[in-house]
Amino acid sequence: MSPELRTKTAIGRSSNYFEIMRTVLFGFVAVAAIIEFGADGYSAPLAMIIVALTAYGILAGAAAMNDLSALRDDLDEETKARNYGQALASRNFSALKAISGVLIGLTGLAELYALFS
């Protein structure tokens, strides 16, 4: 893979990751508004929306992070020696993936708890 294609792919996947996170956060905000201002009581469709949002955020976010990590590992020696390559090598995509997954999961659980209580 040429350096230009690798960079273009990395920019595309990081943009995908940010779009996934933005979609999930806006979805959680919308569900929270429905829970807060909507009718009291349990709603099966709303519970499934929360579960789907949580699963989408965790799974799609992890896939994007895995791709970015793989692209970083495929850097050629010339790029690795430059500042950009060193900065990429220092990023901990595994930690970001884990933290994102945990926070999205906790947000989904909190919304389910609010819906059931």
Output the CA–CA distances (angstroms, integers) from residue 42 to 38, 52, 71, in the order listed: 11, 17, 44
Give residue 43's pLDDT: 85
Extract the residue ranges of the chain whose pLDDT is less than 50: none
Distance from C-alpha of 99 to C-alpha of 111, rounded to nearest angstrom:
18
Q: Return the pLDDT at 101.
A: 95
- How many C-beta atoms lie closer than 10 Å to residue 52's C-beta? 12
The percent of residues in the chain predicted with pLDDT above 70, rounded, is 100
Write the burial class of residue 53 (CB in 10 Å: 0-12 exposed, 13-18 middle, 19+ buried): buried
